Structure 1
Amino acid sequence: MQIDGHHTLTYVVARYAGIDHYTAEKVAYSAQYVDEATNDSQIHFENGAMYDRIVSAHKMLDYRNTQELANNLVWIPFHFLPGNAGFPSSETPEGSFINRLICMPDSQVARDMLKMVAQHWERPYAAQMMGVAMHVYADTFAHQGFAGVIHDVNQVDELESTSTSLLQNIKDNLFSYAISESSPLGHGAALSFPDRPYTSWKYQNGLGKKVERDNTKIFLDAADAMCKAMQCWKSRDTSIDIDNQPGLTKDQLALIKHALLTINDDSGDARHKEWLKWLQEDKFELGAVDLSFDIEGQDSWKFKARGEATKIDGVFKYPYSEAFLTSDWKYFHDALKTYRLEIIRDVLPSYGICVA
């Protein structure tokens, strides 16, 4: 998904799940910030304090950077959560290991990921960690059929779409960036096709299987599943009994479907701006909402937490305040680090999946 999915759609779904605006805003900001956390340098403060962070994304589009492509600590835990071929942790699927790494929507691995996150619901970074989880959970739908490693299983051949102008743009990008139609990472050869909510497309995957995708249906399925997960959160159901949650109502699904099909600009940023406008105009029947996502500048979480840096002895240092310890930005990175540690240390190994 792009910013319209991870930020505004997540916000709308959170509100439909019964989450208040203040908390839903944090969840949605964090869900999108997973795609923005691309810097892992230490933060130095003027009083000598330091804070360490990790990356959860590499800015697209440079599929030619092999070192970044091979960073399994980014792609696998945050964007292409392995599906273990649909089997629970008690069963080992047949076939090669790569089949276990392929992302699957709402897999048992994803459910166990949500259970892991549920153990942190009383922590001060709970909303931020739920946002991280909603990013990953949503991507199990959008990125289904692909794996977050360099492998021929990600090959995309005979790419076709009902969106002819978009298809031509994709082919132009493939040529411009010298990306072959057998790009080996994730959905590289398909570029942003899986992340566009308004299109249908089909292709032949690296296993020789014909695949047809209706992204609108996939996004609606994702939204409903996310709603159920957040209803578990609201009710403090740490067992994550998603199947017994009501999910989205028919009217809520209809409003979201209308937005997915109507807001169909090729640019994710343009779609995001339109979603924000719809929220302001109360088209989602939540009451007029003035939502924003500022990645830089004085309204950003980052700036509010750190302030303005000064270069001292060749190192950028920030003014220290006790408020940093309870800032949304620090809580996001606390959640990000906790999530990655436990998904790699606990959840995936329970399925016999070890990544590094």
Structure 2
Amino acid sequence: MSDTVKLLSLAVAVPEHVITQAEAAAASARLFAGRFADFRHLAGVFDNAGISKRHAARPLSWFDEPHGWPDRMNAYAEVAGSLFVEAATKALRRADLKAGDVDCVVTISSTGFTTPSLDAQLAGKMGFRPDIERVPVFGLGCAAGVSGFGIAVRQAKARAGKIVLFVTIELCTLAFRLDELTRPNIIATALFGDGAAACVLRNGGDGIAAVESTGEHLFPDTLDIMGWKIDDTGFGIVLAQSLPPFAERELGPALDGILARNGLSRRDIDRFVCHPGGTRVLAAMESALALSPGSLDHERSVLSDYGNMSSPTVLFVLERVIQAGLPDRAAMIAMGPGFSASCVTLRRTA
């Protein structure tokens, strides 16, 4: 297995500001109840989301005022840059490597952007080599913790010994909108948080786990399930009520196809490591995967502690699974805009 891509390390990071679910509920009631007649029917989502707190790029008071693109993207550049450095530095240190050892950096984010990209802006601060390959990716949403990991794996496979740094950063709270009097916007304020994760991958050698397979499935005619609408104010959430039943109905067959293309089946998987999109989505995934209710315990724990951070969230779950003891074979799964499903299988190496 000398030519197999290994996961060497994993690290996570979150912004300093913490918003409890009670604080989020109270702020949303103050900001929306008097202007949105359906708010009282939706307020229960704060109690039912399975979230106790989340971290945010800005303090709660920042969201009391309207913000446009400049405010949002300035905040994104500042906080995303800080989280990139923190998560990447921790991951490299845990792999006993330096930034100068990195041959390629894959950076994932769908909640903001900078040009030049974050990896270029931070190259000097990190200490990347001038010949580093940069792969910034936008638009994969919640699936990107797994699909982006797969992109990084394929980069690592390019040559023996290649070191790839994978960084995924999402500042979902910067998309909260005062002007959007809609069900999806209220749900977003109850569900989403901010965070980042970084992994170090190498083609060959030792590591925490060997990457056995990667795969994706794009569902036809599903563009309206999840995504962004973009206007003068910023991003606006697109989130269909049909997502949980869709996941329950469609995830199993899609996953079976991905695994079969890699010579595997669900029976071969000892532990599914899932992106916790929300409590209803987790229940739908347990049903789709024929798991006992409550089986996705680390997923619910991460959701409670951090909310849905979009793409990094599944790596927060993987970190807890590794700490608890990685099984012989695990499968990371996430769904996101497209609508798509992604899967990566990992084999324990020690």
Is TM more than 0.5 here? no
Q: Which has the higher strand share?
A: 2
Q: What's the TM-score once normalised by structure 1's chain length?
A: 0.27
Q: Which has the higher helix share?
A: 1
Q: What's the TM-score once normalised by structure 2's chain length?
A: 0.27
